[in-house]
A and B are shown apart, each in its own frame.
Chain A
Amino acid sequence: MLAIKRFFKMLSKPAVHFSLGFLTIGGFVAGIIFWGAFNTALEATNTEAFCTSCHEMRNNVFEELKTTIHYSNRSGVRATCPDCHVPHNWTDKIARKMQASKEVWGKMFGTINTREKFEAKRLHLAQNEWTRLKANDSLECRNCHEFDSMDFTLQAERASKQHSTALASGDKTCIDCHKGIAHELPEMKGVEGYH
């Protein structure tokens, strides 16, 4: 208690030993270094290499991604984990990263460390992502797939029909129809639009 009181007393008094210049410029430089380090570390956790460094991701969802069009296709453009699973906008990204601390907990205690445990949780995990994408109007899809640039005449008939009606009117969003686009589907009984 006394220590805290002394600390606050020290904070409220002008510095005795350091010059104003040292404190302002030094504070500024330290700030740059701190911010740079923070951002670098944050971006390092935002890479596919980081996500797939855990076997939970590497052996389940990453393997499933490899056969889909978002991993292998004719032009070689591809999406990595954070492209779809982490918002690009800074505040949303930080919010998502704070949520991800729950996933660190899961990793530490091995919530999904076997295939069986993962399969048991698959519906729950998928639903988390579906709810998120539904709530933000499939923002992560739209980061690449711009609605205004879709040429319906170049789409297959059944695609253009849905895109020019349900999607155009905002009645539906990407994830409503494109569930399982990048990973295996969980047990779909009772999920809307499924059998």
Chain B
Amino acid sequence: MKKILLMSLCLLITGPAMAAKDAMKSLRAQSLEVQDPAQKLKNYPRENLNQPLSYIQQPPLIPHQIRGYQIDRKANKCLSCHSFKNFQRYDATKISVSHFLNRDSQALADVSPRRYFCLQCHVPQVKAKPLVENSFQPTAALKK
């Protein structure tokens, strides 16, 4: 009985310390007190066509550079090619009708304000190694 008590006491004291050594590994692989080395900035490729979708209802990625594209109250550079009015002339992807719906699913006469800021959902991509391994697979219907 005494032995068991002593052993469990030992475990209680050393256990957390040993566990901490294994478990406390942050994703950044760097202790919190140390400043991470600055990552190299990544350049957007000028063109990045035909990027596959990963899941149903995914907002398609932007396949080109968008430096300096103004999207604010005054102007929306994206819509100067992708709007219903202009898409044919530029052979661009047409904005989906879903963007005309307000939150009550009523179709508006123009792009709904809640869908106006393109970059909230659509983003360009850089060729970057994922920081964490990811085994996600797109659904069979989307696989090429």
Contacts and interface: CB of A to CB of B under 8 A. Distances in A.
Q: Note whether A and B form a binding pair.
A: yes
Interface string B65-92: 1011010011111011001011000111
A184 B71 CA distance: 10
A113 B140 CA distance: 61
Interface residues of B, number: 22
Interface in A41-80: 67-69
Contacts of B47: 156-158
B80 A193 contact: yes
Contacts of A68: 68
A7 to B, nearest CB: 58
Contacts of B70: 180, 184-185
Contact residue range for chain A? 10 to 19
B49 A69 contact: no
Given A156-B46, A157-B49, A193-B80, A186 B64 contact: no
Interface string A140-171: 00000000000000001110011000000000
Which of B64, B77, B80, B86 has the most chain A CB atoms closer than 10 A to its own CB?
Answer: B80
Given A180-B68, A187-B75, 15 more contacts: A69-B67, A69-B68, A156-B64, A156-B65, A158-B47, A158-B91, A158-B92, A184-B70, A185-B77, A187-B74, A193-B86, A194-B79, A194-B80, A195-B76, A195-B111
